């Protein structure tokens, strides 16, 4: 994952301590610069942060210091803010991560446009020969019900055929990439009499499972929105693996906020006005026609999944 020089630089950074008067989170200080492995050759690494639970409640109260409020008071305030979507205090906390991920994952990642990003430039530098290949148990057919999801996994021998194809294609594309650059694996020139194709053109030959790196800075509220979508079971496995790694950092960074996020966003559900009316009618024993209330077939199915005990009533039983 890292060269010996890079490992030494990380160890030196972790060993250095700088006095500060700003709010710090000891648990997150311990995680500073330490890479969290994701998808074998990828990682998420904390490089900086600002604020924490204390800073969030400080911002909400617009006070000049921690004050005399207890932890239970802070917890109650944070849960109130989360429950009622008072977002601005959460925006006062900021985190910066160093990420190494496949390009196809970053394409999903960068759809979240509320962050500051700087990515490794393949126009300026040569990409390393590092690719992501799924585990055999993660190779599946196209889902019949979800146009952007996976269905059943392939038998082991078929999964291995897919892996062999992916590995062969990646190796061949990278060899051609180096050939266009007129470079060998060590970065030396192969043939001084032959022109080297510009890096910005040669990179076109690379597949989207090659690894890239980027720095990503985002405020806490926008990060929670990212995690609500990308740590969800419906998200693609690969980006969900990164979201899960970031969740671990968030829990260390803002444990009170993490608890509120878990209860009011990650593990919660949103009911529409019609769905709420149907649910109230069913609980009261009043006859109700979900379709007449405006619920689609899909919404009725989702409501029945959330509350299986009322499913017969929703389907005319």
- Annotated catalytic sites, by residue? 230
Is 272 annotated to bind ligand?
no
Is 125 annotated to bind ligand?
no
Strand partners, 101: 212
Is 88 annotated to bind ligand?
yes
Is 45 annotated to bind ligand?
no
Is 230 annotated to bind ligand?
yes
280-296 burial code (b ≥16 CB/10 A, e <16) = ebbeeeeebebeebebe
Is 119 annotated to bind ligand?
yes
Is 225 annotated to bind ligand?
yes
Is 110 annotated to bind ligand?
yes
| CA neighbor of 81 nearest in space, from 235, 250, 247, 220 | 220
The structure tokens 């192969």 sit at: 190
Q: Which helix (H) or strand (E) holds 141?
A: strand 140-142
Is 83 annotated to bind ligand?
no
**Alpha-carbon distances of 259 from 37, 83, 145, 182, 249, rounded to whole Å:** 24, 12, 33, 54, 13
| CA neighbor of 111 nearest in space, from 208, 265, 222, 211 | 222
249-268 burial code (b ≥16 CB/10 A, e <16) = bbbbbbbbbbbbbeeebeee
Phi, psi of 203 (to 5 degrees): -65, -20
Handedness of CA 97, 102, 103, 105 (dihedral sign): negative
Strand order from edge to edge, sheet including 94-102 = 35-38, 42-50, 94-102, 211-219, 115-119
Q: Helix 297-306 crosses helix 273-284 at what angle (to 10 degrees)?
A: 50
Q: What three-state secondary structure class fits 176?
A: helix
**144: Cβ contacts below 8 Å, ≥ 6 apart:** 151
Query: Can you tell me the distance from the alpha carbon of 314 to that of 308, in angstroms, rounded to the nearest whole number?
Result: 10
Binding-site residues for FAD sit at 88, 111-113, 119, 225
Binding-site residues for dUMP sit at 108-111, 119-123, 203, 230
Binding-site residues sit at 88, 108-113, 119-123, 203, 225, 230
């Amino acid at each position: 994952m890292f060269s010996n020089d890079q490992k030494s630089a990380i160890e030196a950074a972790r060993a250095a301590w700088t006095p500060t008067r700003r709010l710090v989170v000891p648990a997150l200080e311990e995680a500073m610069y330490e890479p969290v492995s994701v998808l074998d050759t990828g990682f998420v690494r904390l490089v900086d942060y600002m604020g924490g639970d204390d800073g969030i409640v400080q911002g909400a109260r617009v006070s000049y210091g921690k004050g005399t409020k207890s932890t239970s008071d802070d917890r109650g305030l944070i849960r109130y803010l989360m429950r009622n979507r008072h977002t601005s205090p959460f925006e006062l906390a900021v985190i910066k991560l160093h990420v190494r991920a496949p390009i196809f994952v970053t394409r999903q990642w960068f759809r979240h446009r509320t962050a500051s990003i700087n990515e490794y430039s393949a126009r300026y530098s040569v990409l390393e020969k590092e690719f992501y290949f799924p585990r055999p148990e993660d190779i599946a057919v196209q889902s019949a019900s979800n146009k952007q999801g996976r269905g059943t996994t392939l038998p082991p021998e078929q999964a291995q055929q897919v892996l062999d194809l992916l590995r062969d294609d990646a190796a061949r594309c990278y060899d051609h990439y180096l050939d266009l650059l007129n470079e060998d694996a060590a970065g030396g020139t192969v043939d001084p009499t032959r022109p080297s194709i510009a890096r910005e053109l040669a990179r076109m030959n690379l597949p989207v499972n090659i690894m890239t790196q980027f720095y990503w800075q985002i405020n806490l509220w926008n990060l929670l929105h990212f995690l609500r979508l990308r740590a969800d079971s419906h998200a693609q496995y690969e980006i969900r693996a990164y979201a899960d790694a970031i969740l671990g950092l968030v829990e260390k960074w803002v444990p009170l906020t993490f608890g509120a996020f878990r209860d009011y966003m990650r593990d919660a559900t949103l009911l529409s006005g019609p769905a709420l009316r149907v649910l109230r009618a069913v609980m009261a024993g009043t006859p109700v026609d979900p379709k007449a209330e405006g619920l689609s077939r899909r919404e009725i199915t989702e409501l029945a999944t959330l509350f299986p005990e009322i499913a017969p009533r929703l389907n005319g039983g």
